[in-house]
Amino acid sequence: MSGLKAGDNFPENVSFTYVAPTGELDITACGLGIQYDASNEFKNKKVALVAVPGAFTPTCQVSHVPSYLAHLDDLKAKGVDQVIFIASNDHWVMAAWGKANGVKDDSILFMSDAGLEFSKRIGWTQGDRTLRYAIVVDHGKVTYAEVDDVRGSIEKTGAEGVLAKL
């Protein structure tokens, strides 16, 4: 498969690993990783799936995550139930990244695309990292799928770019 586009069904057999938020913001202690069956979960909600090259990396930390934190209410007003960030980092690093950004609940989840399994499947990788991309899935159907191909840009994949297409 090469990418996804609006109108596609979200693929089957896609899962990520994450640590469920507990409301605790101590980044030095994270719980056990659990599997998240994205294919199944996405059939029952509207989700913005956002891939980043890496947790704590400059654009991801300074621009990308803050855009979603600032516009979470706007996304929810457009029907988005959940925002999920994925990267090749393991689930503990992703959990710590969520905590470092003050996320205490499941409105934004930080998950591992371990081994880039999903990102490779859709062809959106660069070396050992994901490309910067955003996919909106509305009850199993892809309604938006874009890659930012300019280094440091979140024009298409930041919250503002996604909101403009909802």
Q: Which of 141, 85, 119, 86 is nearest to 3 (CA)?
A: 119
- Which residue do the tokens 């609006």 mark? 6
Region label for 79, one of left (φ > 0), alpha (ψ between -120 and 50) or beta (otherwise): left
List alpha helices for 4-158, DSSP H.
38-41, 58-59, 65-70, 72-77, 91-100, 117-121
Residue 108 β-bridge partners: 83
Catalytic positions are: 60
**What SS3 state is found at 70?**
helix
